[in-house]
A = this chain, B = another copy of it.
Amino acid sequence: MTNNDTTTTTRIEADSTLPIIRMSREFAATPEQLFRAHTDPELFARWVGPDGMDITVDVWDARSGGSWRYHAGREGEEYGFHGSFHEVRPDRLVQTFSYDGEPDGVALETLTFTDLGNGRTRLEAQSLCDTFEGRDAWLASGMEVGVEQGYAKLDRLLEDHAV
């Protein structure tokens, strides 16, 4: 692969024995750039979520023990999300995640950034739920579209040297 090959898609899998969603994707980016894209609130708001969503970051304290909150708006609809940063380190983020519309559902997310050399990095994300039903409902919600469109936006920010 070369730095120009950015037409990757995200691998999204439900674990067969654990209530976990695993996602894996490569980026034409260094680990430092992916870390920045996930921890800098202005950058994060420019790529996260499906196309056409306006992201507003309400709370953002990207350090171990900090917390975050943002909402996404489109055509008069609004969706809020919040959580805590359990751990923020250059190669790994661990954070909780809740959708405001279902606040008792909490996922524990672990993101790792693995340097593949040649300016490429693999992002691996694991979302741990406490029931298979909750995990499967989330998968069935169409979250892949938002994930895929969000990462495509991040690709374009990287191409534009905006990260």
Known contacts A130-B18, A130-B20; A86 and B66 CB within 8 A of each other = no
Known contacts A18-B19, A128-B128; A87 and B65 CB within 8 A of each other = no
Q: Is the CB of A106 within 8 A of B126?
A: no
List chain B residues, Cβ under 8 A from A143. Answer: none
Q: Is the CB of A128 within 8 A of B126?
A: no
Q: Is the CB of B65 within 8 A of A82?
A: yes
Can you add 9 more A-B contacts, CB < 8 Å, to A18-B132, A65-B67, A108-B130? A65-B84, A83-B86, A86-B98, A87-B106, A92-B104, A94-B96, A106-B110, A108-B128, A126-B130
A58 to B19, CA, bound (A): 33
Chain B nearest CB: distance from A84 CB in Å?
4
How many A residues face the partner with a CB closer than 8 A?
29
List chain B residues, Cβ under 8 A from A94. Answer: 96, 106
A59 near B: Cβ within 8 Å? yes
A103 near B: Cβ within 8 Å? yes
Q: Residues 61-73 of chain A: 1 if any B CB is under 8 Å from the residue's CB, otherwise 0?
A: 0001111010000
List chain B residues, Cβ under 8 A from A85. Answer: 84
A89-127 interface (Cβ within 8 A of B) = 92, 94, 96, 98, 103-104, 106, 108, 110, 126
List chain B residues, Cβ under 8 A from A128. Answer: 108, 128, 130
Known contacts A106-B94, A106-B110, A126-B130; A84 and B86 CB within 8 A of each other = yes
List chain B residues, Cβ under 8 A from A64. Answer: 67, 82
